[in-house]
Structures are given as C-alpha cells and as structure tokens.
Amino acid sequence: MTPLLQVENIAKFYGARVGCKDVSFDLFPGEVMGIVGESGSGKSTLLNCLAGHLTPDAGAVRFDTKTDGLRDTVTMREPERRMLGRTDWAFVHQHARDGLRMNVSAGGNVGERLMAVGARHYGQIRDTATDWLGRVEIAADRIDDRPTAFSGGMQQRLQIARNLVTGPRLVFMDEPTGGLDVSVQARLLDLLRGLVREMGLSAIIVTHDLAVVRLLADRLMVMKDGHVVETGLTDQVLDDPQHAYTQLLVSSVLQV
C-alpha cells in the first residue's frame, strides 16, 4: 500500500532555536494521527510545515497526488501546492476566524472552495452548501447569516464544512476543539469522528488534549523540544508510555 503522506527528516529552525527536527513518518489512507506535546514542543510548527504554510529547512513531505503519485510538496511549485490546499487538503484552524471569512455568509464560506475549483452554478453551489450545513448540524435557515452571528462551536463546525466540501483526502487540524466548552467539544469530536470514518479521511491532529486523541486518533506521535520522543498505537502510547516525557504527560492528566 502507498502511503498518502510520507514525511522524511523534516526540520525547521527559528534562528538557532529548533522548531522541529528529524521528524519522519508515513501516514496511510484512512489513518488518523495525533500529535501531542506541550506548548512550544514544535507540534504546530511541524503541522504548518506539512501543510505548506511554512517552508521546512530540510526534509521532504511527499503526498500521493491523484495524477502523479508521490510528489514532494516542499519543492513543488507554489500554484500546485496551493491547488492541493483547496482540493485534496483541508486545514482546520484552532480559531475559526483564521479559517473563515467572517464578512461572508455561511453559504458563501462553504461555497468558496467549490467556486475556487470552478463551480459556476449558483443553485448547485447553494444545494451543496445546504447539505453540508446539515451534515455539521447547522440549521439550513442560517445559510445566509454571517459567522459573526454564530457561537464558537457553530463557527468551528462551519469551518469544518467549508474544508470538507471539496472531499479532501487529508485534513490537518490544529487544536480543533481548543477554546470550546466541554459539552461543545464532545459534540464536535463526535461529528469529526463520524465524518472521518464516513469519508475515509486521513487526518493529522495537533492537540495538547489527550482525551481528543484517544477518541479520534489511531496512532500517536509525542513531541518534546522539537523532537519526536515516542510514537505508536494511540491506546498503547497512552496506557503503556515508554518515554519519560510521555509518562509525565499521561500521569499529569487530572482524573474526573
């Protein structure tokens, strides 16, 4: 089986400081990988390098493109990479306002990616947008409201709809539940989990919340100081952590 994403020795430096270094892994179709670590561990830097938002200083990020097989997205021309960014890839930001156009209606937000890849039939765009709002549990009559009129959880669900509408194969998520109330979080996770399974999505989820990865991720990568200290099956890493840092991380979670 060809991996969907093949990451080889990615490194990113901020001057003398290490953003992330020596990161390698393969992600296979349908796999969901969690990246955990504390703030400053390099997990967001890594995610941004993988998604093409940052240019890594070393290494390769090969993506299994529909037409040409594995291609290094680091050395790929920018138009191609940006095209991937609005077709095969999706990026869910922690803050909905980074991932939404706040002055555009919910329908327009969802429709943008469709129009970006050439959809030119208003009725069809609107039907697809309505369908997707339903799938993320937003009432159809909110389609012409702007996200500024939405709650935090709704904004995040809208962001997900906007990203998934073009049927991407790989979703990058940066703390998708951060800053939400616990009850809202649960609903969002439930939704994400269903969509990931239903659409057979591969996903890379960066979070510091171990409960989130236990629920969503098949496998786990633990980062500290820019390095990967442990990887493995999610429940194995959480239930039988091998590295000192992972043990500390797992044992620090408060029990409820």
Nearest distance from C-beta of residue 181 to other proteins, angstroms: 14
Residues 56-85 binding other proteins (CB under 8 A) are: 78-79, 82
**220: closest CA among 254, 206, 185?**
206
Does residue 31 interact with other proteins by CB under 8 A?
yes
> Residue from 50, 219, 222, 224 that binds other proteins (CB under 8 A)?
219
Does residue 135 interact with other proteins by CB under 8 A?
no
Cα gap 120→123, rounded to integer Å: 9
Cα gap 161→183, rounded to integer Å: 20
Cα gap 203→100, rounded to integer Å: 20
> Residue from 4, 23, 51, 189 that binds other proteins (CB under 8 A)?
189
| Tokens encoding 45 | 């830097």
| Tokens encoding 103 | 């002055």
**What mask of x and - would describe binding to other proteins in positions 147 to 166, judged by CB under 8 A?**
--------------------
Cα gap 71→61, rounded to integer Å: 8
> Residue from 65, 87, 105, 130 that binds other proteins (CB under 8 A)?
105
Region from 42-50, 101-109, 131-139, 169-177 binding other proteins, contact rule CB under 8 A: 101-109
What is the crossing angle of helices 152-164 and 106-116, to 10°?
A: 20
Q: Considering the complex, state which of residue 67 and residue 252 has its C-beta at the smaller distance from other proteins.
A: 252
With a CB cutoff of 8 Å and minimum separation 6, the contacts of 125 are: 107, 111, 114, 115, 119
- Chain positions contacting other proteins, by CB under 8 A: 28, 31, 78-79, 82, 86, 101, 103-105, 107-108, 111-117, 120-123, 125-126, 143-144, 186-187, 189-190, 193, 215, 218-219, 232-236, 239-240, 242-244, 247-248, 251
